[in-house]
Structure 1
């Protein structure tokens, strides 16, 4: 499915029920980018014109996939593990970060926030991210900033880097080529002085 651009308007078509929405896609001038249209109207799916996309009603329905294992074809729940290394927490995502796996990533990012300290989101096993996943990362970034910490991305695929650049989010997250690189180089807050004058 491809969103149909027409001058200043774009038409979203739901891949599940066929419902459509025609509206102005603001902010981003690229006809191949529909993230603002998707997010502003409660749709889910790809930030690009090539689908899939689902209307708000169908976004609430369970995905129509064969099998009953958790996470469908997206790997084990969308999160492979949460590791606490020194002062940092590493969340390793897997599969596609989309509406169907968002809950697992949201829970992992909350756990990382509760642990305090910087957060590394390892994307080396993730190939696709949609507007749901982007929203989760932006929210987690804001939460980290509010508590004086940093959230960074490690080993994003070429597709994810393209999405971040197209959505003008590549300047929001510190991004590193690998998990080890992120742990070694990511910014950390200075330790507060202790009572006896040394740093804690």
Structure 2
């Protein structure tokens, strides 16, 4: 738990990297949802009161000095993603292999934007990503806009409950078409399915 309730409708947001805190969090509006306040204060991380959260200083640096000295980072930061193209229907499927945080979004950015500009259909398979932060969500929105500018589709596959909640909260659930699995998404792109 990285948001500690103060009992009067406020809470302290604690940085998971350096331990600094900000006690200006108003939790009365949306219960456990703290994303609007987190973003306004320059923090990154979870939309909910359960972490991870990073203060503005730690959000600007990708690694602490201890990590630079060779200490291991959390597993979700070292994970990557897969890209697979289904040439028969010109679908590119990008699968993040971990939670979509700012670090993974940064590594994914170029390939995702390139796919959105070059392929008729792009799907992001989120079955392994249970969490998404504001940086990653922003990347998905930009990639969808890029795809739309090129007359392409940009869909999501198997978003977790958390991701669906974030999409709903940010009023993006009607923007992204979602599919339960990759096969359903690819099948929906076939010429026969599109003409039904």
Is TM (by shorter chain) over 0.5?
A: yes
Which sections of structure 1, spanning at least 5 residues, go unmatched? 189-200
Would you say 1:98 and 2:96 are equivalent positions?
A: no
Would you say 1:20 and 2:35 are equivalent positions?
A: no
TM-score by length of 1: 0.76
Match among 137, 140, 144 for residue 141 of structure 1 = 144
Query: In 2, are the aligned partners of 1:38 and 1:131 still within 8 Å (CA)?
Result: no
Which sections of structure 2, spanning at least 5 residues, go unmatched? 192-196
Change (3 A) 1:59 1:98: same
Query: In 2, are the aligned partners of 1:79 and 1:93 still within 8 Å (CA)?
Result: yes
- Give the alignment's Cα RMSD to 1 decimal: 3.2
Query: In 2, are the aligned partners of 1:71 and 1:77 still within 8 Å (CA)?
Result: no
Deviation string 1:65-105 (CA, Å, 9 cap, x unpaired) is 87969985027643122435332211111111102212122
For 2:174, what is the secondary structure of its paired residue?
Answer: coil
Change (3 A) 1:133 1:22: same
Change (3 A) 1:57 1:161: same
TM-score by length of 2: 0.77
Partner in structure 2 of residue 191 of structure 1: none
Cα separation, 1, equivalents of 2:71 and 2:175: 35
Query: In 2, are the aligned partners of 1:78 and 1:95 still within 8 Å (CA)?
Result: yes
Give the count of matched residue pairs: 185
Cα separation, 1, equivalents of 2:71 and 2:118: 29
Cα separation, 1, equivalents of 2:121 and 2:71: 32
For 2:127, what is the secondary structure of its paired residue?
Answer: strand
Cα separation, 2, equivalents of 1:92 and 1:47: 22
Partner in structure 2 of residue 51 of structure 1: 51
Would you say 1:119 and 2:122 are equivalent positions?
A: yes
Match among 66, 88, 91 for residue 88 of structure 1 = 91
